[in-house]
Each structure stands twice: as C-alpha cells, then as structure tokens.
Amino acid sequence: MVGADNFEDRKAAFRQVQDFVRTMHEAGVKVAMGNDAGTPNVPFGWGMHHEMELYVEAGLSPMDAIVAATSLGASQMPPVGQADFGTLEAGMVADLIVLNADPLADIANTLDIDRVMRLGEWVDRTALGAN
C-alpha cells in the first residue's frame, strides 16, 4: 500500500532485487520468468507483461525479457528441459499473440494485442469479456 509506513523501505528493497537481476543477467546467468497467474491478486496475462517491463527496467533488453518469458521460462517447467512449448518450431505447441506494435521498441507494446491464437484456433476476445 502506497501510504504504508514502510512503503519507501519496500521500494528500496525492490530496487535491490532489480539490481540483483541485472547483475545476474550481466554475469551470464539465464534469467527465466515464472508464472503465478491464477493465484490471489495475480490476474492471468497481465502479470507476465508487467514482469517483462520490470525486467527491462532492471537492465535487460526487450528481447531478453521476451526470451525469459517464453523459451527460458518454458525450459524450466518440469520435467526440466523437456517442454514442448516456448519456441516457434516444428513439433512444438504454439499459442500466438499478434501485436499491433513492436515490443522491441517498447516492451509495453506486448499489451497492444491484435489477435490471440490458442491451440490452433483464433480466440474470440470479445466473448471473453462476457463471462
């Protein structure tokens, strides 16, 4: 909470975590992104977009953040190294997000979504809001 007594301390601690992420990345450690979507206060989708923005703020390039959220994240799913998703290549499961703007120019452009394909079918996004 912004008005909490320890808010400034929490912000400082968060910046230390971002510095740590940048330091690890610069040292060659592969930084992968996890997903807590569906847990309390973590909406599906938005959290990953926001986390990519935080990785870029920490010093990763937009492409590094995208790779952390896709292929590197998938590579850490159990059994580790055996995921059939996370990259676009033959034999892999691929859901697609078609964007209206270049995420390499601004990582926030990952939120400017034109279309979504899930399991080989285009998702009717207007129908999702009806639920």
Q: What is the pLDDT of residue 24?
A: 93
Whether pTM exceeds 0.75: yes
48-100: per-residue pLDDT in tens?
888 899 999 999 999 999 999 888 877 777 677 677 777 777 877 778 889 99
Computed over every residue of the chain, the mean pLDDT equals 84
Contacts of 91 (CB under 8 A, 6+ apart): 84
Q: What is the CA radius of gyration of the chain?
A: 17
Q: Burial level of 60, CB count in 10 A (0-12/13-18/19+)? A: buried
